[in-house]
A and B are shown apart, each in its own frame.
Chain A
Amino acid sequence: MIRIDCPFCGLRDHSEFSYGGDASINYPPLDAPAEQWHDAVFLRENIRGRQLETWQHTSGCRMWLNVERDTVSHEIFAVWPAHRGYGRVLHAEKENTE
Chain B
Amino acid sequence: MFRYTKATALREVLVWAFALLTLLPFYFLVINALKPDEELLTTGSSTPPSRPTVENFTEVLTATGDSNILLGLLHSAVITVGSIAGLVAFGSLAAYVLARTTARWGSVAFYLFLVAIVLPTQLGLIPLYIGARQLGLVGSLWGMIVLYVGTLMPLAVFLYAGFFRNLPRDYEEAAALDGAGPARVFFRVVLPLMAPATGTVAILAGLIVWNDFFSALIFLGGSDNQTLPVSMYYYVGSLVSAWNKIFAIVLISMVPILAFYLFAQKRFIQGFAGGIK
Q: Do A and B bind each other?
A: no
The residues of A with any CB-CB pair to B shorter than 8 Å are: none
